[in-house]
Amino acid sequence: MFSKLDISTQLISEVYIGDKEYTIDMAFDNILRFIRLLGDEKITDANKIKIGIEILLDEKLDYDFETLIKIFKQLIAIIFDTDTEEAKEDVVYDLAGEPLPAEFQKKEKEYYSLTEDAQYIFSSFKHYYNIDLFEEQGELDWRKFKAYLNDLGSDTKFSEVVKIRMMEIPADATEAEKNDIRKLKAAYALEGSQNDIENGALDLAQKQIIAQKMYDEMMRKEEENE
C-alpha cells in the first residue's frame, strides 16, 4: 500500500478509479489537511467525503454519492494502510466466522495526535533531523514523514510528551510524586489520539454506506407505493 515505505521500489501515488488514473497528493501537509477535515465537527459527514476526495485528488469527481463513498473508503485505506494482511490477521471474529463490530476489535492505543501535537512534531523534526516542516510543505511525502516520526530520538520534545502520556503511576510512589505525575499527564493530555481519527474515518465511510442503502430502500418503497 502507498502508506508503507518500501525502499526497494519507487514511491507510487497513482490510483485507478474506473478506467482513469489519478494521482493522490501524498505530501504530508496535504494528508494533515485531510485529517483536520475529518475532525471538523462543523462539516457534515457527506461533505467530508466530497471535500476529502477533492483534497486527496485535487479534483472534483462527477460520480453518484454511493460511488463517492466507495472511492473515499478506497482512499482512506490507502492513506492509513488499513487493509494490509497484517491488519486482517488481527481481526476478531465471532463463532460464526464473521468479524465482530469495530468497537469489539482489538486496537493498540496510540499516545499522539498529528494535529494536537503539531508544535512538538515541528520542533522535534528541526532538532533531530534539522528538517523545517514548513519548508517541506508540498515536498515531503507522507510515507517519509511517518518513517521520520516513528524514529524520533528520545531526546526530542515529541518523544518526551509521548513518554509522559504512556507513563504509569508507580504503586510505591509517594502521594506527592503521584500528584506530580498526574499534573504532568493532565498538562499533556490529548482530546483524541491518531487512532481515533483513523478509526473515525473508517466509521464515517461505513456509516455513509449504511445511510445510502437506507435511502435507496426508502426511495424504492416510495416508488412501489405510487
pLDDT of residue 28: 94
CA separation for the pair 49, 34 (Å, rounded): 10
pLDDT of residue 88: 42
Mean pLDDT across 156-163: 94
CA separation for the pair 151, 172 (Å, rounded): 32
Mean pLDDT across 83-97: 46
Helix, strand, coil percentages for the chain (3-state, nearest 5): 55, 5, 40
Of the listed ranges 65-69, 128-132, 139-143, the least confidently predicted one is: 65-69
Mean pLDDT across 171-180: 91
Cα diameter, the chain: 75
Between these two residues, 109 and 25, which has the higher pLDDT value? 25
CA separation for the pair 40, 149 (Å, rounded): 24
Mean pLDDT across 57-82: 84
DSSP class of 135: T
Q: Model-level pTM?
A: 0.71
Of the listed ranges 8-17, 119-128, 137-146, the least confidently predicted one is: 8-17
Q: What is the pLDDT of residues 199-219, one digit of tens each?
A: 555 566 655 555 555 555 655
CA separation for the pair 139, 157 (Å, rounded): 24
What single string gives the DSSP state of each residue in 10-34? ----EEEETTEEEE---BHHHHHHH
